[in-house]
Amino acid sequence: MQGIITKGISGFYYIEVDKKIIECKARGKFRYNSLVPMVGDNVEVSIKNGKGVIDKIYPRKNRLIRPAVANVTQALLVVALKNPDVNLDLINRLLLNCEYNGLKVIVCFNKLDLVDMRSQNIEDVVDMIKSCGYKTIFLKAKDGYGIDDIIDILDNNVTVFCGASGVGKSTILNAVVGKQLMETGDISEKLKRGKHTTRHSEIIEVNNGFVVDTPGFSSIDIDFMDKLELQNYFPEFIDYIGGCKFTGCIHYKEPSCAVKKAVEDGKINARRYEFYIKTLESIINKSNKW
């Protein structure tokens, strides 16, 4: 029987097969081969002595590490415009991680009711995202405003929700599904950051597709990326790559660089370029330590 892993908790995996859920354990051979089943995996299962067993894990289209989800087609990056405050570094790291994994990205700005959209800080954040070519959706999730826009993009996709704790991922998911599937937490007034309210990754079937609710997190390692390939994960660079004077330009200290010229001309967002250089230097410094 073939199915998809919809949830994994403490070594047990819940597989949807023909609209039914089968609780399974994974065969030991996966552990010895350093292959751990993930939510989103397409698998082959069998029933042995009344218990479900995962016999085969089919090749993955992609694999996210944090959150741990496989075979995702698009990511909905949820950003709270207030409470918690916008973390540009985290947003850029998440965008980079999504690009690395070949995911289409939709950026969802939540909690519109808490900010003045005309403020310079908010406009700068929104303009930065739009300048990269990403689709944006604006929400007041607790009031249901904008939820229909989310539902429309779920069709025929496996969508992962990502973003920091407290930005409203579970609130949005609950509104999309139409019932309280996950605990929704408040923001800690003392720490001004979200409590970890979602305990595991889980795929839920919605509108001819699947959505994945994932734990909020506040950091992600991207230093494993290659310094020569990094530029390919910045969609706003694409039109300028290849226009530089030197072959193999990484748009750092080289002269006559088309990307740097685009930044100077305001065609590429300066903050995004600063993040690119910060990430590039981190990768270079790490590789020099080996």
Token digits of residue 196: 């970890």
Tell me the C-alpha distance between 248 and 111, whole Å: 43
CB distance 283 to 230 below 8 Å? yes
Longest dimension (CA), the chain: 69
Nearest to 160 by CA among 76, 220, 68: 76
Q: Is 196 annotated as a binding residue?
A: no
Give the pairing of strands 69-70 and 63-64.
antiparallel
Q: Is 257 annotated as a binding residue?
A: yes
Listed in order, strand segments (DSSP E) in the chain are 2-9, 12-17, 20-26, 42-48, 51-57, 63-64, 69-70, 74-80, 104-110, 135-138, 158-162, 187-188, 193-194, 202-206, 209-213
Tell me the C-alpha distance between 173 and 89, whole Å: 25
Q: Is 285 annotated as a binding residue?
A: no
Q: Is 45 annotated as a binding residue?
A: no
Q: Is 249 annotated as a binding residue?
A: yes
Q: Is 251 annotated as a binding residue?
A: yes
Q: Is 110 annotated as a binding residue?
A: yes
Q: Is 171 annotated as a binding residue?
A: yes
Q: Is 167 annotated as a binding residue?
A: yes
Q: Is 121 annotated as a binding residue?
A: no
**For 134, which DSSP code?**
-
Token digits of residue 179: 């019932």
Q: Is 244 annotated as a binding residue?
A: yes
Q: Is 112 annotated as a binding residue?
A: yes
Q: Is 52 annotated as a binding residue?
A: no
CA-CA-CA-CA dihedral for 115, 118, 119, 125, to nearest 10 = 90
CB distance 1 to 16 below 8 Å? no
Q: Which residues pair with 3 in a beta bridge?
A: 43
Q: Is 170 annotated as a binding residue?
A: yes
Q: Is 28 annotated as a binding residue?
A: no
> Is the link from the previous residue into 67 a cis peptide, with omega within 30 of 0?
yes
Binding residues for Zn(2+) are 244, 249, 251, 257
Binding residues are 110-113, 163-171, 244, 249, 251, 257
Binding residues for GTP are 110-113, 163-171
